Amino acid sequence: MITHQRLLDLLAYDPETGVFTWRVNRGGMRAGQEAGCALGDRYCQIMLDYKHYSAHRLSVFYTTGKWPDAVVDHITYGENSDAVSNLRSATWQQNRWNTPPKIGHSKWKGVTYDKGRTKCWKITFKLPSGPIIQKRFADEREAAEEYMFLALEHHGEFVRLE
């Protein structure tokens, strides 16, 4: 694992934008160029000394000098997503609550089409205490409203509805 000093020697970090830039020339990269790239639709990854690191975890390490013990959650996604003000400590479960909806199911988070059933739209909601709630609805929007109600009630600041 990379040391804090080695990280500071190799990269500069702008905590407001969340962007890392190279301090040194490395391979095809030149000092001053942005470091890292998104692997598929995932988070930005930066290779340092032959090991891949997630930029959001490096952001915390860079600014605090210690590796985050917990999961690092993005409050929002998009521009400046690796800015230190957009990152927070979370449990694995809280991080999952804050994920965007899955493509191809429904335009609403937590709602899936249940083919072959009388009531076609289904929500599956796992309560933080463990039990799972499954309900079916004839109307997609009604299913979405129920999911949103449960998410707001049980996920607190980690709720993500869109």
Q: Does residue 150 register a pLDDT over 70?
A: yes
The verdict on 24 and 75 lying in the same domain is yes
The verdict on 111 and 46 lying in the same domain is no
The verdict on 28 and 59 lying in the same domain is yes
How far apart CA 133 and CA 126 sit, in angstroms, is 6
Can you give the pLDDT at residue 79? Answer: 61
Q: Does residue 136 register a pLDDT over 80?
A: yes
The verdict on 104 and 121 lying in the same domain is yes
Q: How many residues does the chain have?
A: 162
pLDDT in tens, 38-67: 776 667 899 999 999 999 999 999 999 999
How far apart CA 62 and CA 87 sit, in angstroms, is 13
Question: Which H helix or E strand runs over 85?
Answer: none
The verdict on 72 and 142 lying in the same domain is no
Range of the domain at 65: 4-90
Can you give the pLDDT at residue 109? Answer: 80
Global pTM reads: 0.70
Instruction: Sort strands 51-54 and 71-74 into parallel, antiparallel or unpaired.
Output: unpaired
Can you give the pLDDT at residue 94? Answer: 83
Q: How many domains does the chain have?
A: 2
CATH number of the CATH domain containing 72: 3.90.75.20
The verdict on 114 and 73 lying in the same domain is no
From 56, 90, 124, the end of a domain falls on 90
The verdict on 144 and 115 lying in the same domain is yes
The verdict on 139 and 72 lying in the same domain is no
pLDDT band at 107 (very low <50, low <70, confident <90, very high): confident
Q: What is the longest distance spanned by two Cα atoms in the chain?
A: 62
How far apart CA 144 and CA 111 sit, in angstroms, is 6
